[in-house]
Amino acid sequence: MKTSFTNCLIIGSGPAGYTAAIYAARADMKPMLYEGMQPGGQLTITTEIENFPGFPNGISGAELMEQMRRQALNFDVDMRRGTITKADFSSRPFKVWVDDDDYEEHVIEAKTVIIATGATARWLGLESESEFRGGGVSACATCDGFFYRGMDVAVVGGGDTACEEATYLAKICKKVYLIHRRDQLRASKAMQCRVMETENIIPVWNSRIVEFFGEVDKFDKVLRGIKVENIPAGEITEIAVDGVFIAIGHHPNSDVFKDQIHVDQEGYIITQGHSTQTNIPGVFAAGDIQDTQFRQAITAAASGCMAAIEAERFLLDAKD
């Protein structure tokens, strides 16, 4: 069995993980970072980002993550590929088991751990949906809505998130079709009222998307519309839209930790107050794995900074 040791193990990449690595490395903690199955996280499938400070002309999600990664490597962060299969936080040093490129049992012993594994957007699962993802299909209206200013769009879902996305888009888009499988929304009464009182939000009840259509080639993706099935009648109609926002929830990537780390009913890690500290001293959580409200690159990066600083202070205060 192979064993490695580090003062600070960072699990997950993306804005939270890479930022935590930069701060931890500059504090001479010599951090080790496991990037997971999708280095860079969800931003790598986002096209243009215009609201991250410091890039007045915008930047692609993949390029932003690559620049963060290179910056971490410039500080000699021990960057590794692999996924965490098991963790033992019952005593320090903490033990984490990794499935890595060596294809052998590998245990990491760490004085502190920062969990930055993020949350994965739930998609509809259609083949045509994946074809237009990042080119007409998005899971974040706050991130990508600006690109559809003055256009017709659709939002899929019926909960608070879907209603919030629809009302946000209604301010900048011409029409917003709100597509829901049921005949009434699941959102809070206040959100339902807001949606129903917004003239350019058009509810499409008892319906589901069965296909996305448009043009796709190796250089560009242009969504032209969606085919929507009325579930009771089985009738399919076409709706012309320029963008579709899937708002049916996220799945926090906390399964491997939640038998030891306190999580809420949806699986998001619970942190203490304005801290990134979890219920286990020395284990911190940053980014979308603990953020149920904002889910922005800038807030994830900020929490990564906080986690690294808190991990440094923890080591300074620790007796071992």
Residues 60 and 43: beta-carbon distance below 8 Å: no
Q: Where are the beta strands (DSSP E) in 123-276?
A: 137-138, 152-156, 175-179, 201-204, 207-216, 221-230, 235-240, 243-246, 250-252
Q: What six digits make up the tokens of 252?
A: 């926090």
Annotation says 173 is catalytic: no
Residue of 78, 144, 288, 291 with catalytic role = 144
Distance, CA of 162 to chain centre: 16
Is the bond leading into 203 cis (omega within 30 degrees of zero)? no
| 8 is a catalytic site residue | no
Q: Which of 78, 100, 140, 242 is catalytic?
A: 140
Residue with tokens 């107050």: 273
- The single residue of 8, 100, 143, 152 carrying the catalytic annotation is 143
Buried b (16+ CB within 10 A) or exposed e, 208-224: bbeebebebeeeebebe
CB 109 within 8 A of CB 5: yes
Instruction: Provide φ and ψ at 233, rounded to 5°.
Output: -90, -20
Residue 180 CA to residue 196 CA, distance in Å, equals 14
Pull the structure tokens for residue 5.
């040791």
What is the identity of the amino acid at 106?
H
Q: Would you call 144 a catalytic residue per the annotation? A: yes
Measured between alpha carbons, how far is 263 from 173 in angstroms, rounded to an integer? Answer: 36
- The residues that are catalytic are 140, 143-144
